[in-house]
Amino acid sequence: MNTLSLKGQVAVVTGASSGLGVRFAHILADAGASVALMARRTDRLDAVVAAIVAKGGVAKAFALDVSDAHAIGPAMDAAQAALGPISILINNAGVGADGRALDISIEDYDAGFAVNTRGVFFAAREAARRMIDSGLAAQGLCRIVNIASIAGSNSLPGLPVYCATKAAVISLTKSLAKEWVRKLIAVNAICPGFIETEINADWFKTDGGQAQIKSFPRRRLMLDSDLDGVLMTLVGPGAHGMTGSIITIDDGQTL
Ligand SMILES: NC(=O)c1ccc[n+]([C@@H]2O[C@H](COP(=O)([O-])OP(=O)(O)OC[C@H]3O[C@@H](n4cnc5c(N)ncnc54)[C@H](OP(=O)(O)O)[C@@H]3O)[C@@H](O)[C@H]2O)c1
């Protein structure tokens, strides 16, 4: 049961068309935030918006490819025009960038960094600029949550580039938190363990994927709802003194 009220706040969730982003959009809307959902597949976004609105929530969809850094600011302007000044950004859009070091193409390498790292940096910057300009940052209300991964501090097999993109997100989280600490914008990162979504569903159907699940201490994948508590803590007033924190939630997978 979620008792935190985000009524009157506007949250942007990138990568809200599937997987974890859908869950984040729902729990923020359930807590009363008006939610701007951003991703490339607008038909998927529209379906999530419809589900939130059917529950009495407020949500709108905005087409955005975060690898087009110039498109991020205009998408946030459109969100602000429709919903009001942004105080929360969930920087969630991501791609697998999978492939062993001997195999991965230059194009897949660049695409991984363009979405997972450059997209996160410029979304954070565009959100922070608007949080400062609106005066909400000075009120201590503003939160940026970057979705990194256990891959950011562990070398996962077959994912050298993905791991590097997420290590960079962890580094950026600390640097942005420090740069904006006096602006009162909190920047933190969540590092989830493996949760079945479109990013990895094919892998977990394979024998190798099944063997990996059996190797986890609890012999299972996590649920997307396992991130709810920390996400809500990070966006709420209880996290007032928390910035630059890197929080692992992995069901013990990396123990
Ligand atoms: N699932 C896990 O086990 C796990 C673990 C640790 C961290 N994570 C991280 O969690 C985040 C969400 O992933 P997920 O597991 O929910 O995977 P997912 O179901 O594949 O969702 C990825 C989301 O990112 C969006 N996206 C991809 N490229 C984009 C682009 N260029 N511009 C805008 N949006 C883009 C996708 O939307 P469109 O395709 O519609 O654009 C989709 O909404 C990622 O950052 C991932 O690295 C996942």
State the catalytic residues. 149, 162, 166
- In order along its 255 residues, the chain shows pLDDT tens digits of 457 899 999 999 999 999 999 999 999 999 999 999 999 999 999 999 999 999 999 999 999 999 999 999 999 999 999 999 999 999 999 999 999 999 999 999 999 999 999 999 999 999 999 999 999 999 999 999 999 999 999 999 999 999 999 999 999 999 999 999 999 999 999 999 999 999 999 999 999 999 999 999 999 999 999 999 999 999 998 888 999 999 999 999 999
Domain annotation for the chain: domains and CATH numbers: 10-249 (3.40.50.720)
Q: How far apart are CA 222 and CA 244, in angstroms?
A: 25
Task: Give Cβ neighbours of residue 250 (< 8 Å, ≥ 6 apart).
Answer: 150, 191, 192, 193, 194, 222
Task: Give Cβ neighbours of residue 46 (< 8 Å, ≥ 6 apart).
Answer: 61
Taking the CA atoms of residue 32, residue 34, residue 40 and residue 43 in that order, the dihedral angle to the nearest 10 degrees is: 80
Task: Indicate which residue's Cα is closest to atom 1 of ligand 1.
Answer: 195
User: Which stretches within the chain are classed as H helix?
Assistant: 19-30, 42-54, 69-83, 106-113, 120-134, 160-179, 201-205, 207-215, 228-235
Task: Indicate which residue's Cα is closest to atom 45 of ligand 1.
Answer: 94
Cβ of 192 less than 6 Å from ligand 1: yes
CA of 138 to the centre of ligand 1 (A): 31
Q: Answer yes or no: pTM beyond 0.85.
A: yes
